[in-house]
Amino acid sequence: MSIIRRRGWELSDRLATPEHLVFNRRGLLAGGASALALMAGPAYAQRVTDLANIPDPSADLYPAKHNEKYVLDRPITDEKINSNYNNFYEFNSTKNVAQQAQALPIRPWMVKIDGLVEKPFEIGIDELIRKMTLEERTYRHRCVEAWSMAIAWTGFPVAKLVEFAKPLGSAKYLRMETFNNPKVAPGLKQSWYPWPYVEGLSMAEATNELAFLATGAYGHPIAKQMGAPLRLAVPWKYGFKSIKSIVRFSFVEQRPKGMWEALQASEYGFWANVNPEVPHPRWSQASEEVIGTGERRPTLLFNGYGDYVASLYSDMKSERLWA
Ligand code: MTE
């Protein structure tokens, strides 16, 4: 029998009632439809703010055990610097999204698993997290904009989610989707972006040992601007593949089109593996600025993770693997 430690506001009914029902019941007047907002006025606004700031119910799981296998060739980027230099276009298209991102309510947070699976289902993020064993890994992160960071993520391998989802043999790709609520994220009102943010991996990539779902960073639950409560980390690919704040995983047969690919296919492809020798159409990818240090380093093929992933692409010579 396992003993579940509970914290603060967590009520015992969480253990017996599906997460979304518990939160809906508690938040009925607070978190409901906008019609209620009009009726309730400032009180509603206050409750929405309160909901956005609920203490994280998974906090007791951090820090998780560190996995020594994935070593870095550079120091971890300072957390303050990392959490104030982010790409999260749902909020805005500058690096300065930290403050705006705090408006995102991350509980309740339902994750849908559908498509080519034995049985589609939805699961609350806390139930999902507690079904997985969290570990800490240090990974490099190389943005397509030619900057990089190094991060201590906490989470679990995508392969574990795949196992849990029970996909059918016909599933060829994993499609992931970010929340799409323009009421909390004003960038979603910008109709020239093909929202929602979507990204995909082949099943071989998704089950590669490096593919990781981060629920935390720097020894605690992941910050909202970094993709709370669930974000992908695929360190051998350009950063735009690492989709944030995921609400849906679909197992599909057709290759999914990511948001950036849908917007500008000539610049952002499906595979998007890091290669210093293949420039982006508008800039070189030969080197990167290490954020927070001012240092410029040569970029490594597969961002230095070739030993883990190069074999995934050995028979794909005709594919556009690098942009
Ligand atoms: N996911 C969503 N939903 N929206 C985004 O704008 N930006 C991507 C990726 N995931 C993005 C996203 C890009 S371009 C990068 S480089 C990384 O997130 C940035 O992650 P970071 O802010 O934690 O460094």
Structure tokens at 100: 């705006």
- According to DSSP, residue 17 is labeled S
Atom 22 (ligand 1): residue with closest C-alpha? 86
State how far Cα 60 lies from the chain centre. 21
Q: Which residues of the chain have pLDDT under 50?
A: 1-18, 21-22, 24-42, 44-45, 48
Q: What is the DSSP letter of 225?
A: G
Query: Which run of H or of E encompasses 296?
Result: strand 295-298
Is residue 196 reached through a cis peptide bond, with omega within 30 degrees of 0 on the bond before it?
A: yes
Q: How far is the CA of 64 from the centre of ligand 1 (A)?
A: 24
Q: Look at residue 109 in the predicted model and tell me its pLDDT.
A: 98
**pLDDT of 55:** 82
Distance 142 CA to ligand 1 centre (A): 11
Atom of ligand 1 nearest to the CA of 82: 24
Backbone φ, ψ for residue 62 (5° rounding): -115, 150
Pocket test residue of 95, 143, 244 for ligand 1, highest count of atoms within 8 A of CB: 244
Angle value at C-alpha 253, between 248 and 259, nearest 5 degrees: 50
Alpha carbon of 231 to ligand 1 centroid (Å):
9
Q: Which domains does the chain have, with CATH numbers?
A: 56-312 (3.90.420.10)
Tell me how far apart the alpha carbons of residues 276 and 274 are, in angstroms, rounded to a whole number. 7
Q: Which is nearest to 144 in space by CA: 17, 32, 237?
A: 237
Collapse the DSSP code of 30 into the 3-class scheme (helix H, G, I; strand E, B; otherwise coil) and give the result. helix
What number of CA atoms fall less than 13 Å from residue 15's CA on the CB side? 9
Pocket test for ligand 1, best of 199, 226, 240 (most atoms within 8 A of CB): 240
From CA 230, how far away is CA 214, in angstroms rounded? 6
The string of pLDDT tens digits covering residues 231-274 is: 999 999 999 999 999 999 999 999 999 999 999 999 999 999 99
Nearest CA to ligand 1 atom 14: 240
Pairing mode of beta strands 135-142, 212-217? unpaired
List, in sequence order, every residue forming a beta bridge with 231; answer none if it has no partner.
214
| Cβ(16)–Cβ(106) below 8 Å | no
Distance between CA atoms of 143 and 268, rounded to whole angstroms?
A: 12
